[in-house]
Amino acid sequence: MTQSIQQSLRTLLSGLVDYAGLFPPAKLDMAATVANYANYLGGGDAWALGRLIVPATRLDEFEQHADEHLPAGNDDATWELTALVGHDSLDDDLGRLATFNKKYAGRARILMIELRAASADEIDDALDRIPDHIFPFFEVTVTDDPRGLIAAIAGSDAGAKVRTGGVTAAAYPSPEQLARFIAACASAGVPFKATAGLHHPLRHFSETVGTDEFGFLNVFTAGILARATTIDERELAAVLVDQSPESFDFSDDQLSYGNRAVDVDAIRDAREKFAISYGSCSFTEPLADLRSLNLLTATSP
């Protein structure tokens, strides 16, 4: 089967979903998570799959279950992982990564990490300790103004991470808070990634959590517009709450939203350098929703 999809949407979705099957609400065990990731890599939707997210403290467990699934040593097939690390355990966690990368060279590697940061001093301290070949994303709170923390990241080979949801309504930022974060990252030239609450393409009400959830098309369209156009926070917030599929027009040449249009090259630039990816405990659900909206279809060869 081949995928039928407009080029602008394919560019937006390429490598977008980092698989986080270990985490809520799925909260799968390591064996199932690793087996799923291997299956997704071998499936027809692999082009939309990003990295596998694993805590550094569970790398030994990952090794126990992954060895049978990992490639034999072809660099083209190397598994790309993101490791979650802690600030207090950073040196130990980085040591685990170094050992892992040496042991699994050509089969799997970790060149990206995620860690929380509560202050500019924590960011500066971590940047001094993280090797140049490791790219960190610092998770910052957006309920308070994040611009000081984003400024601390700016100018370094690092990015910011935003939590866009969770298992309770209190874990969700407001559209204005998320718009402020995206605008601040764009202004500072800081790449961002998101995590949690982005299983579905568009803004919608979740009966399970009892609040409105963001859609991944909303968030990454907003990111692309912030990177490629002049757009203010108020306009970004409007993109983030838009529930209408008709507002998002994808063609082979461009993505259009309202009176704004971004061509495929600009979408690619934004995805590669700014709006990087998002973590999801499901890979199949986001794609199934795109098919239900007729944005992605399977056709016979």
**Share of the chain residues as helix, strand and coil, in percent rounded to the nearest 5:** 45, 25, 35
Contact present, 59 and 27 (Cβ < 8 Å): no
Euclidean distance between CA atoms 117 and 161, whole angstroms = 10
CB atoms within 10 A of CB 111: 15
Q: Is the pLDDT of residue 184 over 60?
A: yes
Within 13 A of 279's CA, how many CA atoms are on the CB side? 29
Closest C-alpha to 255, from 274, 294, 228: 228
Residue with tokens 């560019």: 11
- The band of 73, judged by pLDDT with boundaries at 50, 70 and 90, is confident
Radius of gyration over alpha carbons of the chain, in Å?
19
The percent of residues above 90 in pLDDT, for the chain, comes to 94
Yes or no: say if 160 and 191 are a contact pair by the CB < 8 Å rule: yes
Exposure of 16 in the CB half-sphere (CA atoms within 13 A): 28
Residue 81: CB atoms within 10 A of its CB come to 25
pLDDT of res. 298: 65
Q: How far is CA 78 from CA 191, 259, 276, in A?
A: 24, 41, 19
pLDDT at 243 over 70: yes
Give the domains, in start order, of the chain with CATH numbers: 2-299 (3.20.20)
Both tokens of 134, joined, read 């490791």
Identify the pLDDT of residue 297. Answer: 80
CB 270 within 8 A of CB 12: no
**pLDDT tens digits along 247-278:** 999 999 999 999 999 999 999 999 999 999 99
Residue 163, number of CB atoms within 10 A of its CB? 20
Q: CB of 166 within 8 A of CB of 172?
A: yes
Helix pair angle (233-241, 175-188), 10° resolution: 130
Say if residue 301's pLDDT is above 90. Answer: no
